[in-house]
Amino acid sequence: MFDTIKSLQLSLLHMGFIQLDARWQYDNVISPFSRLYLITAGEGWVFHNRQKFMLKPGHLYLIPRFTYSRYHCDQFLEQYYISFFDELREGLSIYDLKSMAYEVQAEPIDYTLMDRLLAQNPDRAITQSDPKIYDNRPEVLSFNQPQSNQSMSQFVETNGILLQLFSRFLGAENDQDQQRAKGFHQLASILQYIDSHLHDKLTVEKLAHNAHLNADYFSRLFLSIVGIRPMDYIINKRLERAQLLMMTSSMALKTVAESVGIPSIYYFSRLFKRRFGVPPGQYRETAWQM
């Protein structure tokens, strides 16, 4: 697993320091990127991964991408915030391979790192406090490039700071992590194939054939490793890709649906609403509110 972890790339999207109040109340937020908070004063809470986390000063918090989450502040909350993309080779996710600690005690250097990251990226602040709006800005596709006013050395330092802060949540490797990573590596070529062929017709039989396995055995193996059935995994990936396309392009919804392998706009709308809580048309209207 260590060789795969070495391929981890984190790319900054937003970064800033903010004071929040009771208007910070949001529900049903599912973002295509992860968030990291360092709380400096006040209190609030976030809910994700079936758990409520009380936001306390002196602590770091991680919220994984594509996770249903809620945000709440009663009176006052002060924090550094970061939103970022993560990428591993072979189309894998760090959250699939490694159990994470979503709340950790901040170290003294973390405040310095946040200040340095903010100084290197002064124009990455969020202008909208509603995550349902700022999650959906067209610039998300430019996350992996230096800003026009940022030097290459600043870009590299930014990525280094991100990795250092993210490392706080990894913790020690355990037997469960090793078994999980071993399983995902067993399916790595299939997961990569799915990721690059979402627009094609994908069936369990076709995937099993590519893996040189019996279809029934392949389905059971996939379920035991990934936690969901192959076709459910494919639907999730198609909807996640569709969400990103809707954020970053003006493609017609029918074209978006077809490009992710769901030719029926009606079926696409039903699946999208089930996953993200709103129909795609309404989602896009919100996405372009600036």
pLDDT, one tens digit per residue, over 10-48 is: 989 889 999 999 999 988 788 888 999 999 999 999 999
**C-alpha closest to that of 82 among 138, 145, 16:** 16
Cβ-count burial 210-226 (b if 16+ within 10 Å, e if not): ebebebeebbebbeebb
Distance of alpha carbon 130 from its chain centroid, rounded? 17
**pLDDT reported for residue 178:** 73
**pLDDT reported for residue 130:** 57
For 202, the 3-state DSSP assignment is: coil
CA–CA dist 132, 289 (Å, integer)? 10
Instruction: Read off the pLDDT of residues 203-236 as tens digits, 9 standing for 90 and up.
Output: 999 999 999 999 999 999 999 988 899 999 999 9
CB contact set of 54 (below 8 Å; sequence gap of 6+)? 43, 44, 45
For 80, the 3-state DSSP assignment is: strand
Contact at 8 Å (CB) between 80 and 40?
A: yes
Tally DSSP H helices, then E strands, for the chain: 13, 9
Share of the chain above pLDDT 70, in %: 85
Among the residue ranges 51-55, 76-80, 216-220, 244-248, the one predicted with the least confidence is 244-248
CA–CA dist 247, 129 (Å, integer)? 17
The reported pTM is 0.78
**pLDDT reported for residue 177:** 66
- pLDDT confidence band for 51 (50 / 70 / 90): very high
For 40, the 3-state DSSP assignment is: strand
Residues in the chain: 290
More confident residue, 198 or 246: 198
Instruction: Read off the pLDDT of residues 145-177 as tens digits, 9 standing for 90 and up.
Output: 445 567 889 889 999 999 999 999 987 666 776
**pLDDT reported for residue 53:** 97
- Domains of the chain, each with CATH number or no CATH: 2-169 (2.60.120.10), 187-287 (1.10.10.60)
Tokens 């992590």 locate to 177
